[in-house]
Structure 1
Amino acid sequence: MQMQNLVLVECIEMLKRAAKEHDAPIWSRVAELLARPRSRRAEVNVSKIARYASSSKSSSSNSNTSSMIIVPGKVLGSGSIEHPVTVAAFSFSNTAVKKILNAKGKVLSIDELVRMNPKGTGVRIIV
Structure 2
Amino acid sequence: MARELRKASRSNDAPIWSRLSREALKPSAARRTINLNKMSKLTREGDAVFFAGKVLGTGAISHKITLCSFSISRTAAQKVLASGGSIQGYREMVGQFPTGKGVVLLG
The alpha carbon displacement at 1:34 in A equals 1.7
Q: Percent identity?
A: 34
Runs of 4+ aligned structure 1 residues displaced above 4 Å come to none
CA distance in structure 2 between the partners assigned to 1:18 and 1:83 by the alignment? 29
Structure 2: which 5+ runs fail to align?
none
Residue deviations 1:19-56 (CA, integer Å, cap 9, x gap): 0000000000111112112111121111121111123x
2:97 paired with 1:107:
no
CA distance in structure 2 between the partners assigned to 1:91 and 1:44 by the alignment? 11
* Bigger radius of gyration: 1
User: 1:17 — aligned with what?
Assistant: 7
User: 1:48 — aligned with what?
Assistant: 38
2:76 paired with 1:86:
no
| Matched position secondary structure for 2:71 | strand
Structure 1: which 5+ runs fail to align?
1-10, 56-65
* TM-score normalised by structure 1 residue count: 0.80
Q: What RMSD over aligned residues (CA atoms) do the two structures have, in Å? A: 1.0
| Matched position secondary structure for 1:48 | helix
| Matched position secondary structure for 1:31 | helix
